[in-house]
Amino acid sequence: MEFSKRTHHCAALTVGDENKKVILCGWVDSVRDHGGVLFVDLRDRYGRTQIVFNPEAGKEITESAEKLRSEFVICIEGEVKKRSQETINSKLKTGEIEVFAKDLEVLSTCEPLPFPLEDNLDVSENLRLKYRFLDLRRASFQKNFIFRHKVVRSVRNYLDTEGFLEIETPYLTKSTPEGARDYLVPSRVHNGKFYALPQSPQLFKQILMISGYERYFQVVRCFRDEDLRADRQPEHTQIDMELSFVDEDVIHDVIERMIQKIFKDCLDVDITIPFQRINYEEAMNLYGSDKPDLRIPEVIHNLSGISKDVSFNVFKKVLSIEEGVIYGLCGSGLAESASIKDMNDLTAFAISFGAKGLAWIRIMNDGSFKSPIVKFFDEATLKKYQEELQAKCGDVMFFVADIKKVARNVLGALRLKLAKDKGTLQYNDYKLLWVNKFPLLEWSEDEKRYSAVHHPFTMPDIKNIDELINDPASVTAKAYDLVLNGTELGGGSIRIHDTKLQEEMFKILGMDIESARIKFGFLLDALKFGAPPHGGIAIGLDRLIMLLLGLGSIRETIAFPKTQKATCLMTESPSDVSEKQLKELGICIEEE
RNA sequence: GGGGGUGUAGCUCAAUUGGUUAGAGUCCUAGACUGUCGAUCUAGUUGUUGCGGGUUCGAGUCCCGUCACUCCCGCCA
């Protein structure tokens, strides 16, 4: 018997294969030894098949079968038999048959496992990450990676038919000062100099447009040395694209049809296009977020007008300052059930997002208002609040009094928390939308200068350059984010393709022509040699997979992810390197 | 940089108000068993309670520090 002569995989056999002689290979999923007859569930990538070891097959094979343990790798030759009616396992795809083993070869043994490989068992993540090769054997992981493969295949097929070319860009490139912290790679040949791993192939894809490729894409790794989150890893994969002779509408359309096709190909779900579009300012006002979760019906309301004449000092004080507002949000169904402690927890939550406090008024089932602060409001005002917030009996009205930026941020976070705590959000209730018209610039108090909200190559939404020069703060950008269920799936912009405008942009960002030349000279050069109007977008592949499958973290979509401290527990990286290596690079480690 | 959660047998967890010998299931080992599919039954092995310090007659439990994993804020064009 030769394992390379495998005839079927472990999900293939059916009653139609009865009496066939087959060779199967795989891992021992479980052993059930009855003393006489012994059952093994044999597992490979495709599925499981029950193998029967009967004493009648001979002494030798029976004895070696008794030595089988979980996760041994074996090859068996045997005969397919239909199971009797009462022994059919309906949970198993191959449950109507079993294979009577005639020959058994142990290809590899396995030590006792550090943790069981069943799905739905919470094993501590550091153990799972250390033994990632075992964790990846679990069925749920295999499902995730098969799905990820399908998504990428669907994307490649689609973009090919749309005329996109897949072109690779360098990983060893130049450090750029804007944006995230770079991962640096020292140069041996050029002592004291460094490459950087790209945060994205941004400039290369723009250059490719100038080089005339018109439509580029790449499934590409991007690196950012910033702190991690459930949906953020130091290296992540983007579906990166750039197109020439397009405006925002063309890009929206190309992406909408791509997303639609992914849903259809990979989930068999029909989604309607075009997606909802909302401007940044509106998103911030209604949802307190630039990535609103539209599964949640409640929105934020501006109650400043209604609150003008209230005697509540906290509100009065805030309304007297510039940018001071009273914003409100309805917490539905909480009035009777939430305890004082729950309210205190929510207040602490609001404070962690920068609020000074959180005011709340319960509307009891009998319609009465209940709150420590209710005495500061007359009945008519309370009614107006209730009406504006569309709160029903049994709801709680939440208020944040602060400057606009803080108030909507806090209520945006509260809106998400209340919905998550209620536990009614369904991952497969997919709500997609575009957020458009982002601000172009934001003032950096630390650096006393403007910085680009998106990046310095983003096209301002202006008629002429004077608008930018005269009042840069109020200019919006031709930039857009794609949002799915409260997560930013991707973003992009129309780019500047004019040298003058690009130089002006650098100037506004506090970069003189000299330093702009040093940092981005190649782009400024390229822009002079026939740059077409162009724009693009990048979609976060890991996040897309996470959201489509309803996973809790992108670590479930990445085969070998890092911990929150950016280490790999399997390879134990990062690690020390030898003195010799350091010397070659001219690097000296400073003791802390 | 900051806030929260978790850390007890290989694994998943329990341990009353701080109370005397830290338990259970599972895994593993051995035995029994010819139709199981989370097999079953019997017996057995398994502990630096993450680590360091403190309070106490006595600490898994309380306090301080520290480490690891994780969630969040900041940060992430």
Domain ranges of chain A: 15-108, 296-425, 445-476+498-531
> Beta carbon of A455 within 7 Å of strand B?
yes
In terms of Cα–Cα distance, which of A536, A528, A538, A537 is closest to A210? A528
A179 nearest nucleotide via C1' and CA = B77
- CA A283 centroid distance within chain: 20
Alpha helices in A299-440 (DSSP H): 313-320, 340-352, 379-389, 404-422
Q: Are A539 and A482 in contact (CB under 8 A)?
A: yes
Q: Is the ipTM of this complex over 0.95?
A: no
In terms of Cα–Cα distance, which of A200, A226, A204, A216 is closest to A166? A216
* Å separating the CA of residue A564 from the C1' of nucleotide B6: 15
SS3 A185: strand
SS3 A540: strand
SS3 A149: helix
> Beta carbon of A85 within 7 Å of strand B?
no
Q: Are A285 and A300 in contact (CB under 8 A)?
A: yes
State residue A119's pLDDT score: 81
A86 nearest nucleotide via C1' and CA = B35
State residue A444's pLDDT score: 80
Q: How far apart are CA A351 and CA A506, in angstroms?
A: 37
**What is the topology classification, in CATH, of domain A15-108?**
OB fold (Dihydrolipoamide Acetyltransferase, E2P) (2.40.50)
State residue A99's pLDDT score: 97
Amino acid at A339: S
State residue A297's pLDDT score: 95
> Beta carbon of A91 within 7 Å of strand B?
yes
> Beta carbon of A113 within 7 Å of strand B?
yes
A224 nearest nucleotide via C1' and CA = B76
Secondary structure E strands in A526-570: 534-540
In terms of Cα–Cα distance, which of A470, A349, A465 is closest to A398? A349
Q: Are A58 and A78 in contact (CB under 8 A)?
A: no
> Beta carbon of A413 within 7 Å of strand B?
yes
Burial (CB count <10 Å: 0-12, 13-18, 19+), residue A450: middle
Q: Are A154 and A266 in contact (CB under 8 A)?
A: yes
* Å separating the CA of residue A116 from the C1' of nucleotide B23: 22
Q: For strands A432-436 and A276-279, give the pairing.
A: parallel
Which residues 119-158 of chain A have a CB under 7 Å from nucleic chain B? Answer: 121-127, 129
SS3 A161: helix
CA distances from A296 to A73, A153, A422 (A): 49, 32, 11
> Beta carbon of A114 within 7 Å of strand B?
yes
Q: Are A101 and A78 in contact (CB under 8 A)?
A: yes
Which residues 268-297 of chain A have a CB under 7 Å from nucleic chain B? Answer: none
State residue A592's pLDDT score: 61
Which residues 338-357 of chain A have a CB under 7 Å from nucleic chain B? Answer: 352-354
> Beta carbon of A565 within 7 Å of strand B?
yes
- Dihedral of alpha carbons A466, A468, A470, A474, sign: positive
CA distances from A65 to A74, A89, A220 (A): 10, 22, 47
Q: Which nucleotides of B are covered by protein (CB under 7 A)?
A: 1-3, 10-13, 26-29, 32-40, 68-77
SS3 A249: helix
Contacting residues for A16 by C-beta, under 8 A, at least 6 apart? none
* Å separating the CA of residue A230 from the C1' of nucleotide B1: 19
* Å separating the CA of residue A128 from the C1' of nucleotide B10: 13
A65's tokens: 């079968």
Q: How far apart are CA A458 and CA A467, in angstroms?
A: 15
Please give the DSSP secondary-structure letter assigned to residue A291.
Answer: S
SS3 A354: coil
Q: For strands A215-223 and A165-166, give the pairing.
A: parallel
A178 nearest nucleotide via C1' and CA = B77
> Beta carbon of A444 within 7 Å of strand B?
no
* Å separating the CA of residue A120 from the C1' of nucleotide B13: 15
Q: Are A237 and A560 in contact (CB under 8 A)?
A: no
In terms of Cα–Cα distance, which of A12, A110, A123, A129 is closest to A70? A110
> Beta carbon of A553 within 7 Å of strand B?
yes
SS3 A542: helix
Q: Which residues of A204-218 are buried (b: 16+ CB within 10 A; e: fewer)?
A: bbbbbbbbebbbbbb
* Å separating the CA of residue A151 from the C1' of nucleotide B39: 40
Which residues 461-520 of chain A have a CB under 7 Å from nucleic chain B? Answer: none
Q: For residues A500, A506, A511 and A516, what is the CA-based torsion angle, rounded to 10 degrees?
A: -70
> Beta carbon of A211 within 7 Å of strand B?
no
Please give the DSSP secondary-structure letter assigned to residue A263.
Answer: I
SS3 A312: coil
What is the mean pLDDT, run by run of 10 residues, along chain A of 592 residues? 93 96 96 94 95 93 93 96 94 95 95 89 90 94 96 98 98 88 96 95 97 98 96 97 98 98 98 96 96 96 93 93 93 88 87 90 95 93 96 95 94 94 92 96 83 93 92 94 97 96 92 87 94 98 97 96 96 93 92 65
| A302 phi/psi in degrees, rounded to 5 | -85, 115
Output the pTM of the full model. Answer: 0.94
Q: How far apart are CA A316 and CA A311, in angstroms?
A: 7
A304's tokens: 């400043």
| A444 phi/psi in degrees, rounded to 5 | -100, 110
A563 nearest nucleotide via C1' and CA = B69
Q: How far apart are CA A489 and CA A543, in angstroms?
A: 6
CATH of domain A296-425: 3.30.1360.30
> Beta carbon of A229 within 7 Å of strand B?
yes
In terms of Cα–Cα distance, which of A260, A261, A282, A262 is closest to A271? A260
> Beta carbon of A177 within 7 Å of strand B?
no
Please give the DSSP secondary-structure letter assigned to residue A547.
Answer: H
State residue A352's pLDDT score: 86
Q: How far apart are CA A161 and CA A169, in angstroms?
A: 22
Contacts by residues A422-427 (CB-CB < 8 Å, ≥ 24 positions apart): A422/A333, A425/A293, A425/A295, A425/A296, A425/A485, A426/A295, A427/A485, A427/A547, A427/A549, A427/A550
